[in-house]
Amino acid sequence: MDSSQIHSAGRCLVDRSLNEPPLEVKWSEENYIYLSNGEKIFDATCGAAVACLGHGNQEVIQAITDQLQMNAYSNSQVFTTRAASDLAEEIILGTGNLMSRVYICSSGSEATDAAMKMSRQYFIELSPPQPQRTKYITRQHSYHGNTIGALSVSGHVGRREHYAPILTTNVSFVSACNPYRQRLPCESDAAFVTRKAIELDDEFQRLDPDTVIAFVCEPISGATLGCIPYVRGYLSAMKAVCRKYGALFILDETMCGMGRSGNLHAWQGEHVDGDIGKDCLPDLQMIGKGLGGGYQPIAGVIVGKEVVAVVGSGTGGFVHGQTYQAHPVACAASLAVQRIIRWEGLLLNVQKQGLYLSQLLQNKLGSHRNV
């Protein structure tokens, strides 16, 4: 078989299906994808919730080109780049400077693994250390990534099925925040949230609170529940339970973050700094997808001040790292994307378009008996 036959057969690449080849993209521009067969597709979903600026943005492409000409790769064990440090500053600025540092990797799954290791190391380096903390509480109908570690804390039944025997067993599950399915008759938001907090508290008690590292959740559920947002008060109530038992509060905003909710971070829709009743600032937060807009593979973990302070005064560094950590070209692309979002005021447009879409849906479907 010659090379042309191999190419046409498409059998060298491991695609999502080994039997049915995917559609071949020839090029993409703005909000459209053009296929090799001549078809034109409107990218209404931004790929896998990624292409927040559309395709072919020339500012981002120029930033990538400039970085390639300066430095395509450098070993993060020894070196850093201005692109990486500027991106980290941009991300921390987006938290209102409420968080401290950013670990930069290549995918949301990697970010989850990193957050799990960071949270464990935090308790090892506390004074006095708490090495007995080895467990995680997460939620049913959740998704945090496809690596063994990330899948272990995910409640995605289909993706767990084949691998259940090799997933870690130090993870337990509480119910998701799904008021449409779970709210009791005549139950208020406050009562619903209280019931969820009691459930989480009971799970801490069942496990022995001193053995739990963290509670992990998506503020807005993505891959498993169809973008269901948190009920107001839910995040702060969950964090309060974590604080009660000295555990960390980890939010996964890989899909729902970086502007998709109308705020740069979904937790910002509820958090009020200094108000303990509205405190939902995470100790660790996973980000990705819209972080780089699809122009480069990039994700990360935003690390809270307390975690950084404990590790910084201990060993002085996280016992974790990867070859493409803080990759210069990925960082340059992401920095360009995030600056465009901020400089062009795109979050206001997200809020405006979200309200418009909501009104259209209400007008069309609001009176339906299943809505």
Taking 50 as the threshold, does the pLDDT of residue 358 lie above it? Answer: yes
Q: What are the tens digits of pLDDT across the range 114-131?
A: 999 999 999 999 999 999
Whole-number Å distance between alpha carbons of 10 and 27 = 18
Taking 60 as the threshold, does the pLDDT of residue 233 lie above it? Answer: yes
Place of tokens 């292409």: 51
Asked whether residue 141 falls in the same domain as residue 14, the answer is: no
Asked whether residue 205 falls in the same domain as residue 231, the answer is: yes
Asked whether residue 13 falls in the same domain as residue 129, the answer is: no
Whole-number Å distance between alpha carbons of 361 and 237 = 30
Domain membership of residue 356 (yes or no) is no
Residues 6+ apart with CB under 8 A from 202: none
Q: Which of 3-7, 40-44, 61-65, 302-306 has the lowest mean pLDDT?
A: 3-7
Domain membership of residue 226 (yes or no) is yes
- Predicted confidence at residue 218, as pLDDT, reads 97
Q: What are the tens digits of pLDDT across the range 29-41?
A: 999 999 999 999 9
Residue 6's pLDDT band, with cuts at 50, 70 and 90, is very low
Range of the domain at 19: 3-44
- Predicted confidence at residue 8, as pLDDT, reads 55
pTM of this prediction? 0.94
Which of 103, 168, 138 lies closest to 319 in space, CA to CA? 103
Taking 90 as the threshold, does the pLDDT of residue 167 lie above it? Answer: yes
Task: Choose between 7 and 116: higher pLDDT.
Answer: 116
* % pLDDT > 70, the chain: 97
Query: Residue 136: beta bridge partners?
Result: 171, 214
Q: DSSP for 163-184, please give it.
A: GGGGS-SSEEEE----HHHHPP
Which amino acid is present at 101?
R
The beta strands (E) that lie in the chain are given as 25-29, 32-35, 40-42, 101-105, 135-139, 171-174, 212-217, 248-252, 284-287, 299-303
Domain membership of residue 235 (yes or no) is yes
Domain membership of residue 140 (yes or no) is yes
Asked whether residue 76 falls in the same domain as residue 157, the answer is: yes
Residue 313's pLDDT band, with cuts at 50, 70 and 90, is very high
Taking 50 as the threshold, does the pLDDT of residue 1 lie above it? Answer: no
Taking 90 as the threshold, does the pLDDT of residue 226 lie above it? Answer: no
Whole-number Å distance between alpha carbons of 160 and 150 = 10
Residue 370's pLDDT band, with cuts at 50, 70 and 90, is confident
Average pLDDT over residues 343-364: 95
Whole-number Å distance between alpha carbons of 83 and 275 = 35
- Predicted confidence at residue 10, as pLDDT, reads 62
Asked whether residue 289 falls in the same domain as residue 166, the answer is: yes
Number of domains in the chain: 2
Paired tokens of 206: 């069942």
For the chain, the average pLDDT equals 95
Asked whether residue 32 falls in the same domain as residue 71, the answer is: no
Whole-number Å distance between alpha carbons of 52 and 292 = 9
Q: Say if CB 193 and CB 158 are below 8 A apart.
A: no
Indicate the angle between helix axes 189-207 and 234-244, nearest 10 degrees. 30
Asked whether residue 36 falls in the same domain as residue 107, the answer is: no
Asked whether residue 145 falls in the same domain as residue 254, the answer is: yes
Domain membership of residue 268 (yes or no) is yes
- 270: DSSP letter: T
Paired tokens of 296: 């480069």
Asked whether residue 10 falls in the same domain as residue 96, the answer is: no
Average pLDDT over residues 289-301: 98
Asked whether residue 204 falls in the same domain as residue 180, the answer is: yes
Question: 3-state class of 63 per DSSP?
Answer: helix
Average pLDDT over residues 271-285: 94
First and final CA of the chain: distance in angstroms? 56
Paired tokens of 41: 């597709």
Q: Say if CB 298 and CB 54 are below 8 A apart.
A: no
Degrees to nearest 5, angle at CA 269 with 268 and 273: 50
Place of tokens 């909000």: 31
Asked whether residue 82 falls in the same domain as residue 153, the answer is: yes
Taking 50 as the threshold, does the pLDDT of residue 326 lie above it? Answer: yes
Buried b / exposed e across 307-316, counting CB within 10 Å, b at 16+? Answer: bbebbeeeee
- 24: DSSP letter: P
183 exposed, middle or buried (CB, 10 Å; 0-12, 13-18, 19+)? middle
Residue 364: CB atoms within 10 A of its CB come to 10
Taking 70 as the threshold, does the pLDDT of residue 325 lie above it? Answer: yes
Average pLDDT over residues 50-54: 96
Asked whether residue 294 falls in the same domain as residue 160, the answer is: yes
- Residue 124: phi and psi, rounded to 5, are -70, -35
Domain membership of residue 361 (yes or no) is no
Domain membership of residue 369 (yes or no) is no
Taking 70 as the threshold, does the pLDDT of residue 4 lie above it? Answer: no
Which amino acid is present at 229?
P
- Predicted confidence at residue 18, as pLDDT, reads 87
| CATH number of the domain encompassing residue 102 | 3.40.640.10
Taking 60 as the threshold, does the pLDDT of residue 3 lie above it? Answer: no
Domain membership of residue 49 (yes or no) is no
Question: 3-state class of 288 per DSSP?
Answer: coil
Residue 5's pLDDT band, with cuts at 50, 70 and 90, is very low
| Radius of gyration (C-alpha) of the chain in whole angstroms | 22
